[in-house]
Amino acid sequence: MIYDYPNNKVHSSSIVSPEAIIGKGNYIGPNCYIGPNVIIGDNNRIEGFASIGTPAEHRDYFRSTSGKVSIGNNNVIREFTTIHCGTSDNTTVIGSNVIILNHSHIAHDCLISDKANISANVTLAGHVFVMEGANLGLGVVVHQRTVIGAYSMVGMNSTVTTKSSITPGGIFVGSPAKFMKKNKLGLERGKVTDDRLAELNDVYKDILNGSN
């Protein structure tokens, strides 16, 4: 059964905290959990058994008041995805037009920028920064406090470690993931010019320096 939850469609089996802030035009499927510290924008589709806004999986925050989760607009979040709150007063952020496929895990304090694609069974540890238009293949595992460059592609079953350098506009594979070639298709789809790619590389360096 689907029922109206002011300007949204929420399955009757889902638990949505009255303290959550939800925009309009959202669909929340069966058996989902939306916690009290969650902000959701407009026109998102959240499929069954997704869990959004539980405490950070961090030894200092298992039983404490969590930070927040902020989700933008027009995102697709598929079945059994977990998105944890930030630590302390921090926020786990999902931008807009992001696709997160089934059984993926977004840990505390992650930031996923607009138009990123997260394939099934991807695991992001805490404080991971995924830049715009990045594409993570099936089963990718990402170490905490790493940066995934804009319009990069990380291949299926790859492992991003602290020694990996996932720069914008490249294809990376392996464990640890290493540069293979330029992501021509991704750059073309994103209409990323050479000048724009140079700008994104500068942003990548700034983010990387700020995360160390």
DSSP characters over 105-164: EE-TT-EE-TT-EE-TT-EE-TT-EE-TT-EE-TT-EE-TT-EEPTT-EE-TT-EE-TT-
From 11, 84, 105, 108, active-site residue: 108
Q: How many CB atoms lie within 10 A of CB 8?
A: 20
CA gap 208, 120 in Å, rounded: 26
Residue 21's CATH number? 2.160.10.10
- pLDDT averaged over the chain? 95
pLDDT category at 65 given cuts 50, 70, 90 is confident
**pLDDT for 99 beyond 90:** yes
Mean pLDDT on 166-185: 97
Tell me whether residue 169 is one of the annotated catalytic residues: no
Exposed e or buried b for every residue in 120-139, given b needs 16+ CB within 10 A?
bbbbbbbbbbbbbbbbbbeb
Tell me whether residue 194 is one of the annotated catalytic residues: no
**pLDDT for 198 beyond 70:** yes
Expressed as residue numbers, the domain containing 43 is 2-211
**pLDDT for 94 beyond 80:** yes
Mean pLDDT on 55-80: 92
**pLDDT for 51 beyond 60:** yes
Chain centroid to Cα 21, Å, comes to 19
Query: 141 vs 45, 101, 162, 167, 176, CA distance in Å?
Result: 24, 14, 12, 17, 10
Mean pLDDT on 37-41: 97
| C-alpha Rg value of the chain to the nearest Å | 17
From 109, 127, 143, 170, active-site residue: 109
The contacts of residue 130 (CB under 8 Å, 6+ apart) are 110, 111, 112, 113, 116, 118, 124, 136, 148
pLDDT in tens, 119-157: 999 999 999 999 999 999 999 999 999 999 999 999 999
Tell me whether residue 58 is one of the annotated catalytic residues: no
Per the listing, tokens 């995102």 go with: 75
Give me the number of domains the chain comprises: 1
Instruction: Report the predicted TM-score, pTM, of the whole model to 2 decimal places.
Output: 0.95
